[in-house]
């Protein structure tokens, strides 16, 4: 499955997300995941995880991510 937007943020390129049978949505490129009792809950949890990184690290530089990861992460955002 591909995600083209996360909440109010439109992505520059689709973010591939795999949802397992145990309802874990993950993206290997960004090493992020979300989980839930249903596929849609797992996707929503994944989106929250992405936005946590975006807001905390990219906007506020809270976690001081490495430059390579920040660059990889920002490839998905306008």
pLDDT-derived band at 32 (thresholds 50, 70, 90) equals very high
- pTM here is 0.71
Helix, strand, coil share of the chain (percent; to 5): 35, 30, 30
Q: What is the total count of domains within the chain?
A: 1
Residue 58, domain extent: 2-74
Distances (CA, A) of 58 to 51, 64, 74, 75: 10, 9, 8, 12
Average pLDDT value for the chain: 88
């Amino acid at each position: 499955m591909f995600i083209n937007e996360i909440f109010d943020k439109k992505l520059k390129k689709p973010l591939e997300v795999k949802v397992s049978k145990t309802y874990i949505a993950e993206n290997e490129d960004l090493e992020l995941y979300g989980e839930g009792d249903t596929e849609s809950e797992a996707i929503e949890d994944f989106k929250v995880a992405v936005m946590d990184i975006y807001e905390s690290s990219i906007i506020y530089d809270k976690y001081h991510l490495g430059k390579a990861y920040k660059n990889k992460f920002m490839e998905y955002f306008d």
